Amino acid sequence: MFDTIVIATDGSDSVRRAVDVAVDVAARFEAEVHAVYVVDSGEVESTPDEVRDDLRDALDAHGEDALDAVTDAATARDPTLDVTAEVREGRPAAEISGYARDVDADVVAMGTRGRHGENRFLIGSVAERVVRTCPVPVLTVRQLTDEDPRRTTI
């Protein structure tokens, strides 16, 4: 049913549950996992020239850390999972959709809130755009609050 799963990550706390759910699905179906992090070119281009390169380097490093977290989660769940990770630069929703198309994904998994927090009422703006424009199904996973009875703590 699922051969290729794309996990879109921004490294935020709110994406952890989406990573866990997607990795669980990948393990159950023995699917390939593709993790993608997008450096928002609009954010980079809107910074002053004198700090633009430093910001891009910091975002690239953050992206590598975010991708490492996905790889670590996948390996911890099932050491046989095949994980491919990529940092892209551009408009996040377009890049995520494009990546899903490039790898012939069966599904894209992502959180509903990103590192910019509660800037949208029900769903994050990037997640909303991906849901509306992605050529494959999108699994959005919301972060549970501490008060949610479904939340488990170890």
For residue range 52-82, what is the model confidence (pLDDT) as tens digits?
999 999 999 999 999 999 999 999 999 999 8
Beta strands 4-8 and 32-40, pairing class: parallel
Q: Is residue 17 part of a domain?
A: yes
Q: Tell me how many domains the chain contains.
A: 1
Q: Is residue 154 part of a domain?
A: no
pTM equals 0.86
Report the mean per-residue pLDDT for the chain: 88
Residues in contact with 42: Cβ distance below 8 Å, sequence separation at least 6, in sequence order: 91
Q: How many CA atoms lie within 13 A of 65 on its CB side?
A: 10
Q: What CATH number should be reported for the domain holding residue 42?
A: 3.40.50.620
pLDDT digits (tens, 9 = 90+) for 91-124: 999 999 999 999 999 999 999 875 444 444 445 6
| Pairwise pLDDT comparison (30 vs 13), residue with the higher score | 30
Q: Is residue 148 part of a domain?
A: no
Domain that holds residue 68: 4-141
